[in-house]
Structure 1
Amino acid sequence: MHSFKADYQTLYETDYLEWIESTVKKLRSQNYESVDWENLIEEIEDMGRGERRSLESNLIVVLLHLLKWQYQPEYRSGSWESSIIEHRRRIKKLLKESPSLKPYLESIFAEAYTEAAKQAKAETGLPLETFPTQCPYELVEVVNDEFLPE
């Protein structure tokens, strides 16, 4: 007897893009009984995790560059400012596409700042104590295109 489940797993593991295309085709034709539900559900869950990881990563980059901007003014550059603008844009795009991420952004803000401060220490060579233990910026400032600390 031929096992659909084995076929799903094989295709999923050997040709991911073909697995996606095959799954979409089955869903469009409402051929639900032959859909690889186990892997499809896992992929959808991963998409949500990926969105959250992306949001956190972009937030850390903005905070890192704001700290460097504030605590190493002699090294301020267009590339730092450009990075701040780019990562703010990514945060706003993620929030626009998925407004339900806003509470998550608020919940990770303090932890993201701690990570950004550690990275700022490494990148600037300044002691960790240089940077405040609590984030000196409000979330609304961090995502505001006009805000740069002095």
Structure 2
Amino acid sequence: MLSTPTTSKLYDQDFAQWIDQTVQLLKEGKLDELDIKNLIEEVESLGRSDKRAMSSNLIIVILHLLKWRYQPEKRSGSWKGSIIEHRRRAKRLLKDSPSLRSYLESEFADCYANARLQAAGETGLDIKAFPVDCPYELEELLIDGFLPE
């Protein structure tokens, strides 16, 4: 019979199998056999991933709302669809992890600054065409159907 690699080696050799083995060890209560170092790393990574996704979704919503407001002649269904989709994703993340709201509030200004810069790049408008501070409240960004005039 072939010997199986230790869990820490397995992490580097076959991540999917490492996950399966880790779940099985947890279910069986074999905590002393767990690859704790990599397990901690993966759990921390999950939290960072949700935060990055939340910021990314917010940036895209703001970006398209800015384009919607400052280039009304170029409004498209794809902009509206993107707003709807990324708003839905953000709301889903908040539903699954309500504590992300405080993270979102703390990152709001940075998300707006990134969206503003990207809007200037995508529209060809001078960055000064867009307000320095976000013209929308965080709550407005999450309201289905909200579009600036």
Could you tell me the TM-score, scaled by structure 2's length? 0.95
- Measured on the aligned residues, the alpha-carbon RMSD in Å equals 1.2
Is 2:21 the partner of 1:22?
yes
Distance in structure 1 (CA, Å) of the matches to 2:147 and 2:26: 48
Distance in structure 1 (CA, Å) of the matches to 2:45 and 2:31: 21
Q: Which residue of 2 aligns with 1:12?
A: 11
SS at match of 1:99: coil
Is 2:71 the partner of 1:72?
yes
Distance in structure 2 (CA, Å) of the matches to 1:85 and 1:146: 8
Distance in structure 1 (CA, Å) of the matches to 2:30 and 2:7: 14
Give structure 2 stretches of 5+ with no counterpart: none
Distance in structure 2 (CA, Å) of the matches to 1:53 and 1:92: 14
Distance in structure 2 (CA, Å) of the matches to 1:135 and 1:13: 44
Within-5 A mapping of 1:98-117: 98-117=97-116
Distance in structure 2 (CA, Å) of the matches to 1:46 and 1:147: 33
2:49 is aligned with what amino acid? G
Runs (4 or more) in structure 1 with deviation over 3 Å come to: none
Give structure 1 stretches of 5+ with no counterpart: 1-5
Is 2:54 the partner of 1:61?
no
Q: Which residue of 2 aligns with 1:121?
A: 120
